[in-house]
Structures are given as structure tokens and as C-alpha cells.
A and B are shown apart, each in its own frame.
Chain A
Amino acid sequence: MKEKQNGEVWVLAEQEGNLSNRASYELLAWGRKLADEKGSRLAAVIIRHDTEKPAASLIRFGADTVYAADSPKFAHFLPDAFANVLYALVKKSEPDILIAPATTFGRTVMPLVASLAKTGLTADCTELKIDKKTGLLLQTRPAIGGNVMATIITPNTKPQMATVRPNARKPLPEDSSRTGEIVFEKFPEDALESRTRFVKFKADEIGEPPLQEADVIVAGGKGLKSEKKLRNAPRTCGDTRRNSRGFKRSRRYGLGAVFETDRTFRKNREPAPVYRSRHIRSSPAHSRNVFFGDSRCNQY
């Protein structure tokens, strides 16, 4: 791929049904930072069915351009077809940098595209910046259970690709005055061919936001002494006693909480309590996610 000094920074939007897609907006915040450091444009790529509304929201959250690949065939994630389409776009426009969320979607499609493009891909980055001397993307990631951090570059091939761990950066504030260009990309039918077929989807029953999305996390443990106190703790921390210090504080900080149970609380070796979260409205203007769970939750 030919060298371009000021190729675009691309972010791959998460493939999901709803519009308020935090992972994509976070990625735009990363992309905006990189594009500003490089002095280049930031583009988002969105592959799905019905792209119009989400494409517009990507511009409000920081993209200069949105490349939209829209087809009824993209209503569900088909790894090979999505990779072929993204690879076709990469070949055509030659972006300098391509980042995606380190979700089951991003972690699947990015290695496919990197292999097709014969370029490097760094998994699960927690820090990205542009090297001022070389203009290369410095990709920093934890390895070996977070015991070490490694900074990795892709010196000779383009695009420089990375997946980015969700929740490592906050989305930029939504700006409805932002304008940008939405390009609807056309594809030859064979690019949409897939050897996979979507059958069905069953949503998990716990329809509550995951721990990673908490604004504030407070942990409690054995000191709470009983499971009952533990169960009441999120409420105590939140909105019950109107004039208590706890309440005032929670209102000031928009407090969320995680309470960690200890195995000693559990009688008869019953299974770990299902990890739960509750919304607590600490003031009318604020609604924060409050969590409580157990140290054996897979979120830990």
C-alpha cells in the first residue's frame, strides 16, 4: 500500500441495533484525539442495515466523514462478508489508521481484515497516540494478565490497525451543530456473499448495563457483616435518607456502588448471587448505574 503522509483515521462503528452505542462513541473520542494529533480527518465506517440515523449520530459525536455500507444482508453480523466489505473500503481509500472496539464484533472482524490487508493489528489497546517524530501510531496494551504493558508499532504497512478496550476513554459530548459528509458506499454483489448465515438471537435475561459502564464504583466487603446489610447497601448509598450525609454526597458525586460479597455470607454453598445492577436516581438530573455483585462475577 502506498505511503500517505496524511491518510485518514478510521474508526469502525460497533454493529448493534440501538443508536446509543457507547463503544462507537468512545472510539470516536480516541479517533478524534489521533486525527487532531496528526492533523488529518476522522472518518467512521458503519456496516449495517439502515445506516442513515446512526451515521448522523456518528457525526454528532466527532466524525468528519461517515462511510456507510448499507444492505439488508448486514442486519446481522456475518464475519466474512463484513470483513470483505471493510477490506474493499480500506483498499479504495487507504486510511492511515483503523481502530475498532475490542468487542466480540471488533475482535472478530479486525483480524480478518488485517490478514487480508497483510498489515499489523494490536489487540486490546488501552492507550493510543501518535509518535511526533515518525508520525506512527503508538499502540499500548497490557499483556500477561496486566503484569506488563507493551507499546507496539506497525512501521511498514498501512493501515495501522488496533482494537481498543471499551471504557478506556469517555465519549465526546454530543454536538448537534457538527456537520459532516455521509458517503453511501456501493458494493458488487459478490462482496456481500457470505458462507455464514444468521439463524437467531436470544438476548440475555439480565437486561441491565454491565459493570464497565458504571460512572463510579464503590466496593464493600466483609465489613458489612450480613447478606441483608449487603443487599440494602446500594439503597443506603443512594436515595433513601433524604437528609443524610450519604445522600447529599451521592447527589454531589452521582454515586454508584459495587458491593462485593464474601463466600462466608453464603450458606449451604448456594451458587453465587446473580450479578445485578440497579438504577438509582440520586437527583432528577442524574441517573447513575449502581451495581452490586460478587467477586466471582466474570466482570472482575
Chain B
Amino acid sequence: MRIAVLVKQVPATDKVKIDEKTGTMVRSSVESELNPLDLYAVEEAVRIKEHTDKAEITVISMGPQSASEAIKDALSMGCDRGILLSDRAFAGSDTWATAHIISAALKKFGHFDIILTGERATDGETGQVGPSVAAQLGIPVLTYVSKIISISGGCIVAERAVEDGKETIEASLPVVVSVVKEINEPRIPNLSGKLRAKNAEIPVIGAKELGLPPEETGLKGSPTRVVSVFYPSFSRKSTIISGKSAEKAAEMLFEFLKSRGIL
């Protein structure tokens, strides 16, 4: 069985600065980590491998060169190999373009039976790339999976956590599966895993290797545009009473409180 896990490197804090001119994140100022919600997808992949003969896990990530660190984190938990999709031409990709690039890589490295993803990334928070990859590859998708019940005979049976309960659903392989937190408890990598990950070579694949023309990736390949970015202002509703004299102001305050039923 061939398993792919799609992961993303995200800023480690939620106090990220945004460049208000370009609408992009100021990445240099923050430390990065493997998207916490992807840990559940990685863990589930490793668990499937442990219960299956001849399973291999490939971790795929798109991002800057530094994203190879996130891939290594996944390798240290027990994944077999990693592929980094990185190219200047990929910069500024929205969810459609990102899914397009990842789909091209999944086709190139071929014949994955199960493609696992986290529910969403903690920075962009769209949760759209997983289903979008499924649509672009023309394979089924199971989202919000809270339990994989069985994988056999070319079929997967899984439980989805929906608003008012748990839905059990079956799909044919190959399939994209996005998992939610409650599916498992991600393991802490052991020392040998860390050492293996440290020494692992992560090949870097660009637009050329994937055969993607410039108009299909990055900002050019993205149907959406960010037109403005702003910080939301949280303010309390307040009313300032100003009168010519203190008596007048006090009277207005009294009337106001009375009208609200406070006095």
C-alpha cells in the first residue's frame, strides 16, 4: 500500500504579522513548525503502516526551502520519505493553485492508495486543499474523519465527525482522507526516528519537473486575489456624555440609566 501525507509548515505562534501592502505573511520574524493538525494525519499514516504489509509513507509539502524541516518532523514519527515542492513560481498560490501543484506531484510520484491530510492549516485555515486535490485527481474524498474502521478489498470504511453526530461512510481507493483531532494521539518521535530524519535527503521538486507552465501556478495560476488586509479592531460600545455643567451631565446620565432599566 502506498500512502501519501500532505503537510504544511506554519508559523509557530498565532501572533503573526501581515504586510499590509502585499497582504502576505511576514515569515522571517516568526519561527515555523509542522502544522499541529497535520500531526494527526502523520500519526494515522504510521498506524495504517503498522497494521499493513508492505506499506510505504511519502510526506509531501509545498513551501519554501525551510519547509523541509516540517517534512523531517513527519519522517521522525515514522514516515519513509519526503518530497518538497518548492519553486519561486509557486509563491502566492491560493488553494486552487496549491491543490493543482500537489495533484501534479501526486500524479508524478504515482499510484497512491490513500492520501491523508490534516483538517486545515492553522495559518490559512481554509481546509480546502485536501478536497480540491481529490477533485483535481478525480478521486473520492472523505473529510472530517474521526476514525478509520477498515481498509480492505480496495475500500475504506471511515467515520466522519459531522455537526450532529458520527456518519459512517465507505469509499473506493484511491481516496483523499482529511482527519480531525479526535482520530488519535500523535506520538512523540523517538531518538532513532529523529536521527533518521536528520540524515534524510529531501528531494526538491520544482515547476519544471512537474511539467507545470507558469500560468498554472503561483499568483498567475490563482483564481482569487487578496485586495486588502486589515487588523480587526475590538472595541467596547461606549457612549460619552458631555454636558456644559456637571449637573446637566449627571441628569443625562440619570436619564440614560433609567431608559436602560438600570435605575
Contacts and interface: CB of A to CB of B under 8 A. Distances in A.
Contact of B225 (A113, A155, A198, A210): A155
A149 B232 contact: yes
A103 B127 CA distance: 11
B113 to A, nearest CB: 14
Interface in B85-134: 94-96, 99, 122-132, 134
A104 interface: yes
Contacts of A154: 223-225
Contacts of B231: 147-149
Contacts of B223: 114, 118-120, 154, 156-157
A199 B157 contact: yes
7 contacts: A123-B128, A144-B14, A148-B16, A149-B231, A153-B225, A157-B223, A196-B170
A148 B144 CA distance: 26
A116 interface: yes
A204 interface: yes
B128 A111 contact: yes
Contact of B232 (A77, A146, A153, A197): A146
B99 A145 contact: no
A112 B169 contact: no
Interface string A104-142: 110110111111101111111000000000000010001
Main secondary structure of the interface of B (DSSP, over half): mixed
A249 interface: yes
Given A143-B124, A149-B231, A195-B140, A108 B166 contact: no
Nearest to A123: B126
Contacts of A194: 140
Interface residues of A, number: 55
Bin the interface of chain B by size: 35 or more
Nearest to A18: B164
Contacts of B169: 196-199
A63 to B, nearest CB: 23
Given A115-B96, A204-B166, 17 more contacts: A104-B160, A105-B162, A111-B132, A121-B224, A142-B125, A144-B18, A147-B16, A147-B231, A149-B230, A150-B226, A152-B225, A153-B225, A154-B224, A196-B169, A202-B165, A204-B164, A249-B261
B35 interface: no
Contacts of A286: none
A152 B226 contact: yes
Interface string A69-89: 000000011011001000000
B192 interface: no
Contacts of B129: 111
Interface in B160-207: 160-172
B126 to A, nearest CB: 4
Contacts of B225: 152-155
Nearest to B160: A104
B229 interface: yes
B170 A203 contact: no
Contacts of A115: 96, 99, 131-132, 135-136
Between A105, A111, A138, A152, the greatest number of chain B beta carbons within 10 A of the residue's beta carbon is seen for: A111
B241 interface: no
B142 interface: yes
A112 B125 contact: no
Contacts of A197: 169-171
Given A107-B143, A153-B227, A252-B261, A145 B122 contact: yes
B172 A195 contact: yes
A9 to B, nearest CB: 18
B40 to A, nearest CB: 15
Contacts of B261: 249, 252
B140 to A, nearest CB: 4
Contacts of B160: 104
Contacts of B208: none
Nearest to A252: B261
Interface string A184-199: 0000000000111111
A271 to B, nearest CB: 14
Interface string A93-111: 0000000000111011011
B107 to A, nearest CB: 15
Contact of B131 (A112, A152, A199): A112
B32 interface: no
Contact of B140 (A148, A149, A196, A201): A196
A115 B165 CA distance: 28
Contacts of A143: 123-125
Nearest to B122: A145
A159 B144 CA distance: 26
